[in-house]
Structure 1
Amino acid sequence: MAKYSHKNSSLRTYENKKTRSRKYIGKSGVNSLYLNSLHDPLGVELPSSAVETSGNSGGGIGITKFFQGKNIFITGATGFLGKALVEKLLRSTSVGKIYVLMKADDKENALDRLSKEIIQSDLFESIREKHGKSYEEFVREKLIPIVGNNCEPNLGMDTYSMHAIMDEVDVIIQSAASTAFNDRYDYLIDTNVNAPQRLMRLAKRCKNLKLVVHISTAYVNGKREGLIYENPLVMGENGRKQDHIVDIANEINLSVKSCIAATADSNNSSKALKTLGVERAEFLGWNNTYTLTKAMGEMILNEIREDVPLLIIRPTIIESTYKEPYPGWIQGNRMCDPVIIAYGKGLLPAYLADPNVHLDVVPADMVVNTTIAAIAKHGIVINKPRGELNVYHVAADYANPLRMSELFEYVYEHFSANPLTCSTIIKKMKFFNEFDEFSKYVRDEMDVVVRNNAVGFSEKTLQKIEKQYKAKVAYAEELCKIYKFIGFFRARFHSGNTRKLLEEMSEEERDYFEIDVTKIEWRKYFVEIHIPGVRKHLLH
């Protein structure tokens, strides 16, 4: 049987004590062996607000007052974060109508999607219990499905729906996006760049609009290192702060031309367009096509908005809810979860990452609450500057650090006590900083498993087993390639605006709209909340 191994060589794993104590110096000479203290890894002393906040004895921001009777238009309401936003608004505010853009053939189909994907969702159980028999009546009165499509002119809405939005809406929330890291370039540009453009054009025609809210990602900042502040991206800005200018019109034209050219070769068109996106992201200074297109989306919104007030929310890695409406709710295979699941299944015996790097995870309910509180703050401001722009990093690392090694310790603890199957045995994670060494170790480990299972099988069965394990090795390698940028991430996100928001909230608002990431207990979150949530919602 073929053995998946290279020539014997010493494996420089991070388990070695000397390597554990080694400091990692990036291109900028920055020491990224972060200390869990009041000092930023870049030598910048963190403000005290990163650790504690002063009490607010006043009336707070006025969150519930702002949302009373306000009408919202939201895209992406059936997605993970969008759905959680809708649930929280219905549960904790006296919001007026929530107009929900839904991709559907007609109104009947939209109502059917609304019922199956939102009204019947277990996420809404608290509201269901509160309203009892009148639950569906309450929700259907509040949620108005709008037939449309982000990727069509006027968002695919008919004239009647479009005028209803322009006449009635106070706040627009852009939550729709394609989050696949390296999907087709043309598709990601259409959903993450062109769609926000279309929405902003509609926003400029709204009569009572207080605010446009764009849900982005902290990773729009590209391959920069150091402390990243909550600043808007400038049109044409490069992800590395180098010379290559991001010409959005050129990128859009390039994706369209490439799509037309690729259509002639239908067998390879999708692969070619995915490769194009990866190449453009690398050239322009981003880690993947998703973050490049989200960055372009931010740039173009700021460029065309004129005097429309814009609020940009940039979460880091969003994972399952910490507390509300119940702990551990999640939808879709989120960023950390393919890695967590693969490790739990015994498919990932090693990982390509610096164990001391910080992993910036934030629970979905805290992202939702920060968004709602920020909307109220900037929507209610009297005499605010025309067309103000505010950016919020919703991040935990600056105030409540989590190391990569700690994440895997918690995952190991959970699966050791609660294995996915009786036959699954996982070991403590080994870390590598070179792909070739990581790959060799994984292949050797898989080869041992194959040889241990080879006794007594026919040659045909052995060939089948070998093929399966080659596929598993390839999957482990692909996972680590995709998430390598997280494993060696050399930046931290300043979240001063979010901390200031917390300071301005009343005690009651802090209780009802929890945004204080210092209260997260990471071991409890992963061992008792997040991984059980992943198993419940993704593996069953």
Structure 2
Amino acid sequence: MSSVSAYYNGKNVLITGATGFMGKVLVEKLLRSSPEVKAVYILVRPKAGQSMQERVANMLKCKVFDRVREDCPNFHEKIKPINAELCQPKLAISAEDEEELLTRVNIVFHCAATVRFDEPLKYVLHALQLNAMGTQRLLELARQMQNLEAFIHISTAYANCIRKSIDEIIYPPPAEPKKLFDLVEWLDESIIQDITPKLLGEWPNTYTYSKALSEYLIQQEKGNLNIAIIRPSIVGASWHEPFPGWIDNFNGTSGILIAAGKGILRTVIANNEAVADMIPVDITVNLTLAAGWYTAVHRPKNILVYNCTTGGINPFFWGEMRQYAMSTFKRNPLEKAFRTPGAQITSSYLINQYWVYLTDKAWAILYDLYMRLTGRKPRMMKIVKRLHKSMMLLQYFSTQSWNWSSDNMNMLMSHLNTEDKKLYNFDVRQLHWSEYIESYCLGAKKYLLNEDMSGIPAAKQHLRNQRNIRYAFNITLFVIIWRIFIARSQMARNIWYFVVSLCYKFLSYFRASSTLRH
């Protein structure tokens, strides 16, 4: 018997951020592993012209729910959407919905957050309002819940990234949250924009900064709540559940892998020897559900923080990721690739910029010129600029390594019975990185680009054609350079003949040496 699954059966669960990547996987795993769960309340707001009902309907059509749909076709009846806005006072929840939540909810999973790394003013304010102030407002609601047994907050392993060694504790905040909230409320926007760099200090972006504030707020305002904090590192495609390689967004690593596989991105700024601390989304969700059970049943006296990371237990490096990804895309190429996959890694900004202009932007200009000549809208340069902007935002994390302790994660694993260790597997020692990255790349091909594996032969032929075009272009370029520069200058010809003669002598010597050895 699974103790974790049995705990959630009959419970009412509240989840924020359920329409996001991790939120959907959490909802799916909860419904599939605990089919007798009473209700899953999800806080949803209207967005991008879609009503709450439309967003929930689109969410339930997602492929991530295919497995639970087979087992329980009426699973959607257990999902109870609540119209809410975390950035508004009292979450903008109706009195009727609030009463239902206060009397019924047994456990809260707070997954909602903005993951934008941009630093313009509107994102600074939005990150503070949603990640920090939204957490505070949800805590106020949770403290009034009559039957609440546990409150689980999803943070990030990089909330304290200004430290190289990060323990499973809550560190002092970058600023006093309440004073900062007051400051943001009464200061003019132009002044906030001017002081933002000073506010962030050593923190690389508003996401990590606001997450550090949130953790401290939880510690200060927990009251009598039983709380746990989960700190995942770079959340990637699923390892096993609900399907290997499942991913539904182009954010972060996913977008970079696809751009490299398409041949659009040929240079990546990262450190080959830095740890790429990736964590599959299903491992994070399994740990989250297990932590919810442990927090509710064992009621620890203090807030337990779980560093959900891989670097300290099963390290994997950016150089290895490049190797595995490029190998996968050469065996299983993406359709209509711009060029042959061949991304290279450098941690030098100057070298990176050199290759950006020489390989990525130069080819983008040529491709856009071709698009114009054929009467189509040029778009490649715009894509390349957006990609490299994203790379610069990720540079802080792809060029450094951190040391995270994992004592609480190990402790939690020791409390699981044999069945729970299978159903809620978060043992990162079992990860084989080459297999996972291959699964990740194929998942991006299948779930993000909607490409079928039957199209691989055609994709390989397309790459061969691209290679032949590149060879023809290089030969043409060489002939043009020869005619313009070398053929018209006696000195250039003399230098050219000297280099060719030297190469010939070297090859002759090498061939003679090989003959003597044999």
Q: Contact 2:270 / 2:346 at 8 angstroms: preserved in 1?
A: yes
The 3 A distance-change label for structure 1 pair 127 and 448 is: closer
- Structure 1 position 164 matched with structure 2 position 100: yes
Q: Which residue of 1 aligns with 2:509?
A: none
Name the structure where helix makes up a greater proportion of residues.
2
CA drift of 1:492 comes to 2.0
Q: Is the 8 A contact 1:419 1:425 kept in 2?
A: no
Rounded to whole Å, the distance in 1 between the matches of 2:293 and 2:281 is: 19
Distance 1:508 1:418 in 2: 36
Q: 1:359/1:113 Cα in 2 relative to 1: closer, same or farther (>3 Å)?
A: same
User: How far did residue 539 of structure 1 move?
Assistant: 2.5
- Cα deviation, residue 303, structure 1: 1.1
Relative to the length of structure 2, the TM-score reads 0.79
1:280 is aligned to 199
Q: 1:75 to 1:469 in 2, by over 3 A?
A: closer
In structure 2, the partner of 1:439 is: 353
Matched, 1:230 2:140: no
CA offset digits 1:254-306 (Å, max 9, x no partner): 444566448xxxxxxxxx85x8655532x1x2121111011111111211122
Equivalents in 1 of 2:353, 2:443: separation in Å?
30
Cα separation, 2, equivalents of 1:379 and 1:71: 13
Return 5+ residue gaps in structure 2 as ranges: 451-518
Tell me how far apart the structure 2 counterparts of residues 525 and 403 of structure 1 sit (CA, whole Å).
13
Measured after TM superposition, the shift of residue 445 of structure 1 is 2.2
Give the structure 2 partner of residue 63 of structure 1. 4
Query: Which position in structure 1 is the counterpart of 2:481?
Result: none
Name the CA distance, whole Å, in 2 between partners of 1:160 and 1:516: 42
Task: Report deviation, 1:485.
Answer: 0.9
Out of 464, 480, 483, the position equivalent to 2:394 is 483
Q: TM-score of the superposition, structure 1-length normalised?
A: 0.76
Question: How big is the alpha-carbon RMSD for the aligned residues of Structure 1 and Structure 2?
Answer: 2.9
Q: Would the alpha carbon gap of residues 182 and 219 (structure 1) be closer, same or farther in structure 2, given more than 3 Å must change?
A: same
Tell which has more relative contact order, 1 or 2 (C-alpha 8 A, sep 6+): 1
Q: Cα distance 1:257–1:502, how it changes in 2: closer, same or farther (>3 A)?
A: same
Residue 525 in 1 paired to residue 463 in 2? Answer: no
Q: Could you give the per-residue CA deviations for residues 224-266 of structure 1, whole angstroms, max 9, x where no partner exists?
A: 21x31111133xx34xxxxxxx13234334444566448xxxx
Task: Please report how far the alpha carbon of residue 450 of structure 1 lies from its aligned counterpart in structure 2 after TM superposition.
Answer: 6.9
Which of 426, 448, 453 matches 1:538? Answer: 448
- Give the letter aligned to residue 71 of structure 2: K
How far apart, CA to CA, are the structure 2 residues paired with 1:535 and 1:423? Answer: 12
**Map of 1:31 onto structure 2:** none
Contact 1:366 1:515 in 2 (8 A): yes
Q: Does 1:350 align with 2:267?
A: yes
Residues 361 and 381 in structure 2, CA contact (< 8 A), matched pair in contact too? no
Aligned to 2:508: none
Would you say 1:430 and 2:344 are equivalent positions? Answer: yes
Q: Which residue of 2 aligns with 1:97?
A: 39
Q: Does 1:194 pair with 2:113?
A: no
Residues 304 and 436 from structure 1, CA distance in 2 versus in 1: closer, same or farther, beyond 3 angstroms?
same
Question: Using a 3 Å threshold, how does the CA distance of structure 1 residues 340 and 277 change in structure 2: closer, same or farther?
Answer: farther
Task: Report if the CA contact (8 A) 1:222-1:292 is conserved.
Answer: no
Alignment of 1:176 with 2:95, yes or no, is no
1 CA distance for matches of 2:151 and 2:198? 32
Whether the aligned pair in 2 keeps the contact of 1:66 and 1:379 (CA below 8 Å) is no
SS of residue paired to 1:220: coil
Of the candidates 375, 385, 397, which is equivalent to residue 292 of structure 2? 375
How much has 1:437 moved relative to structure 2?
Answer: 2.0
Q: How many residues align?
A: 444
Q: Does 2:139 match 1:139? A: no
Q: Is the contact between residue 152 and residue 229 of structure 2 (CA under 8 Å) also seen in structure 1?
A: yes
CA distance in 2, matches of 1:199, 1:401: 35
1:80 matched to 2:18? The reply is no
Q: Per the alignment, in what secondary structure is the counterpart of residue 481 of structure 1?
A: helix
Partner of 2:464: none
Do structure 1's residue 395 and structure 2's residue 309 form an aligned pair? yes
- CA deviation vs aligned residue, 1:104-153 (integer Å, no higher than 9, x gap): 49xx95444323212x221111111113xxx23x431x211112111112
Cross-structure match for 1:339: 256
Identity of paired residues, percent?
A: 26
Deviation track 1:202-233 (CA, whole Å, cap 9, x = no partner) reads 111111111111111110012221x3111113
**1-structure distance, mates of 2:115, 2:305:** 20
Give 1:248-397 correspondences, 5 Å limit: 248-257=177-186, 260-261=189-190, 273=193, 277=196, 280-281=199-200, 283=201, 285-381=202-298, 384-385=300-301, 388-397=302-311
Aligned-pair CA distance for 1:453? 7.0
Counterpart selection for 2:58 from 96, 116, 135: 116
Query: Alpha-carbon deviation of 1:92?
Result: 0.4
Separation in 2, partners of 1:113, 1:431: 39
**Partner residue, 1:410:** 324
Distance between the aligned counterparts of 1:128 and 1:470, measured in 2? 42
> What amino acid does structure 1 have at the position aligned with 2:443?
G
Amino acid of the structure 1 residue aligned with 2:166: I
Given that 1:218 and 1:316 are in contact with CA atoms closer than 8 Å, whether structure 2 keeps it comes out as yes
TM superposition shift of 1:175: 0.9
Q: Match of 2:76, SS? A: helix
The alpha-carbon deviation at position 91 of structure 1 amounts to: 0.5
Out of 85, 88, 98, the position equivalent to 1:152 is: 88
* 467-476 vs 511-520, which moves further: 467-476
Distance of aligned partners of 1:259 and 1:523 in 2 relative to their CA distance in 1, 3 Å threshold: farther
> Any idea what SS the aligned residue of 2:272 has?
coil
